A and B are shown apart, each in its own frame.
Chain A
Amino acid sequence: MDASEVEFLAEKETVKIIPNFSLDKIYLIGGDLGPFNPGLPVDVPVWLALNLKQRQKCRIVPPAWMDVDKLEEMRDLERKEDTFTPVPSPYYMELTKLLLNFASDNIPKADEIRTLVKDIWDTRIAKLRLSADSFISQLEAHAKLDNLTLMEINTIRAFLLDSLNCLYKLRSNQHPGSSKGQFADF
């Protein structure tokens, strides 16, 4: 999966905006949007929020977790725990990037938030590698991926799956003939 596809999925998440125009409710296959009234907060998908924002039609209200104090708390917990802690949104990384790129003027302390989220990400990726290594070296048969996000899994997916495939083949070497019949004369 390409990172841009993961981002595309993230754009379906909803975010609160405060429009500066009025428009009746619109009915789409993906769900109804609006109605829009100036000054009245309304929930819309991120792709729409960003589009309106770029045309200066709204102000974006950052999600509650996008806050320096809360993120600091999360970062500290993430560093303390050995396992993956629950994240505020399954798309925390993507949303941070999208909202900070297009609406940083609506988000207080944008730069600090960017750094904090990156810290959390780095800590989690380091954990991911550590657990991938122990998974391989202890020849475990299954692993729980609780609390991991799609983007995180995506960065290691190809490598891990290919490695596990090799590992499986090298392990089957120990019991020759168990997988299939005798060798073919290629």
Chain B
Amino acid sequence: MFCEKAMELIRELQRSNEGQLPAFNEDGLRQVLQEMESLYEQNQTDVNEAKSDGRSELIPSIKLRHCCLLRNQRCLTAYLYDRLLRIRALRWEYGSVLPANVRFHMCAEEVQWFSQYKKSLASFMRSLGGGEGLDITQDMKPPKSLYIQVRCLKDHGELEIDDGTVILLKKNSQHFLPRWKCEQLIRQGVLEHVMS
């Protein structure tokens, strides 16, 4: 049956749950486009024949191929769109710099889209609060206090805080740090929020 390749793309995305981004399936995409090309060519031939020789019995087959073209188009659009939704989520979960293993799964256009999304978001955040700017990716939960206790889950090097002090984030060390400095690192799994 036609459109099986396109379904594979969709199933592949559906299997990666919780919004994970599977590797961009360039090969699959190409195969679907190839199928569409050949469907289109067959239809052209049949349409011409139907017109010139009055062979109207070809019409049902033309319609069937046309449905398959539309179906392939729908699957590809949905595939690309759903990937964009996942990529957008990465900005909120990881921050503006993506780890290499995640970036590796994106195609060139997606990398470009991500950096444009990043820029729009940044310029929106800069424009908030009368030019003062406001980081809306912070404080996703209402903060209870300005400082929190954190434990390092892995070696992460140095971290500079507002007053210029530099702290060494060494595995298993505990620190009392400004909450806004830690939020991103906690989301990335570098630090762990210790509740008293």
| Direct A–B contact in complex, judged by CB atoms less than 8 Å apart | yes
Q: Which residues of A are in contact with B by a Cβ distance under 8 Å?
A: 2, 4-5, 7-8, 185-186
Q: How far is B142's CA from A4's CA once the two chains are assembled, in angstroms?
A: 7
Majority-rule SS of A interface residues: helix
Chain B residues with CB below 8 A from A186, complex form: 70-71, 74
Q: How far is B52's CA from A6's CA once the two chains are assembled, in angstroms?
A: 71
Q: How far is B142's CA from A7's CA once the two chains are assembled, in angstroms?
A: 9
Q: List 12 A-B contacts (CB under 8 A).
A: A2-B141, A4-B141, A4-B142, A5-B141, A5-B142, A7-B142, A8-B142, A185-B67, A185-B70, A186-B70, A186-B71, A186-B74
Closest to B140 in A: A2
Q: How far is B67's CA from A4's CA once the two chains are assembled, in angstroms?
A: 49
From residue 58 to 99 of chain B, which have CB atoms closer than 8 A to chain A? 67, 70-71, 74
CB distance from B181 to the nearest CB of A (A): 20
Known contacts A4-B141, A185-B67, A185-B70; 6 further A-B pairs (Cβ under 8 A): A4-B142, A5-B141, A7-B142, A8-B142, A186-B70, A186-B71
CB distance from A57 to the nearest CB of B (A): 16
CB distance from B161 to the nearest CB of A (A): 22
Q: How far is B141's CA from A8's CA once the two chains are assembled, in angstroms?
A: 9
Chain B residues with CB below 8 A from A4, complex form: 141-142
Chain B residues with CB below 8 A from A7, complex form: 142
Chain B residues with CB below 8 A from A8, complex form: 142
Q: How far is B74's CA from A185's CA once the two chains are assembled, in angstroms?
A: 10
Q: How far is B140's CA from A2's CA once the two chains are assembled, in angstroms?
A: 10
Candidate in B70, B74, B141, B142 with the most chain A CB atoms within 10 angstroms: B142
Q: How far is B74's CA from A4's CA once the two chains are assembled, in angstroms?
A: 40
CB distance from A79 to the nearest CB of B (A): 34
CB distance from A161 to the nearest CB of B (A): 21
Closest to B141 in A: A4
Q: List the 3 shortest-distance A-B pairs measured between CB atoms, nearest first.
A: A8-B142, A4-B141, A186-B74
Closest to B73 in A: A186
Closest to B67 in A: A185
Closest to A6 in B: B142
CB distance from B196 to the nearest CB of A (A): 10
Chain B residues with CB below 8 A from A185, complex form: 67, 70
